[in-house]
Amino acid sequence: MHHPHLHFIVTGGGLSYKGDKWISSRKKFFLPVKVISRLFRGKFMSELKKLNLDGKLTYNDNIEYLQQTKHFKELLNTLYKKDWVSYCKPPFNNAEQVIGYLGRYTHRVAISNNRIKKLENGKVCFQWKDYKDGCKNKLRFLLHILPDKFVKIRYYGILSNRNRKKKLKICRKLLTVSNKNIPAQAGLEEMERKFDYTKCPHCGIGVMVIQKVVLPGKNAPAQKRSSLTA
């Protein structure tokens, strides 16, 4: 399943230019659906036209006629007239749940060893539960593995690495928030400790150690894959 996507955590406000005042955002500041829909349509159509000009699109079977410039332009005009829809929904129950959800994917192994069924030709086949089909267990190929040297997490603004502790301290002071009431009072480093992937996910005490190293197939790049056990 090819499913590239990004997760964002956006604050509902920020510090003033001088850093001495907290500026709150409007209640409906996040994700203006209609604007995003039109922006996505414009970006998508722009890239589609570039691919067509570069000859990188393939037209087979019943859409072979789109190779002709006239018919391709007619398709573009039809798509531009349609209202594109960007699906947006409210966040989870609270901010702590959001951090917990993302933390399981960023600081722990998202797929446990018992769910991995086989590794062939550089693809991982794992078991998943389809809640829409009577909670049946099914198999899926995992393709969206991060490339080598790809940065998994990036921080911006008041959460940027350079001045994070200083700015968060100012934000808490301006918002009159006590450190005792903040689960991650030591900053995002506390979240990393809370979701320590080396801890056993069952007992929370045992330490995960490398049991064996599984090498990929002959035609796959020489990259080590570690299997962890408590």
Q: Are 25 and 167 in contact (CB under 8 A)?
A: no
Residue 125 in domain = no
Total tally of structural domains belonging to the chain: 2
What's the number of CA atoms in the CB half-sphere (13 Å) around residue 165? 3
Residue 59 in domain = yes
Residue 74 in domain = yes
Neighbours of 57 (CB within 10 A): 15
Residue 129 in domain = no
Residue 20 in domain = no
Residue 221 in domain = yes
Q: Give the domain range for residue 78.
A: 32-87
* Alpha-carbon dihedral angle through residues 93, 198, 109, 163, given to the nearest 10 degrees: 60
Per-residue pLDDT tens listing for the chain (230 residues): 456 677 788 888 889 988 889 998 887 777 788 888 999 999 999 999 999 999 999 898 889 999 999 999 999 999 999 988 887 777 667 777 887 777 777 776 667 777 888 877 777 788 888 888 888 888 877 655 666 777 778 888 888 888 888 888 898 888 887 665 554 444 455 555 555 656 776 777 777 776 665 655 544 444 444 444 44
Residue 127 in domain = no
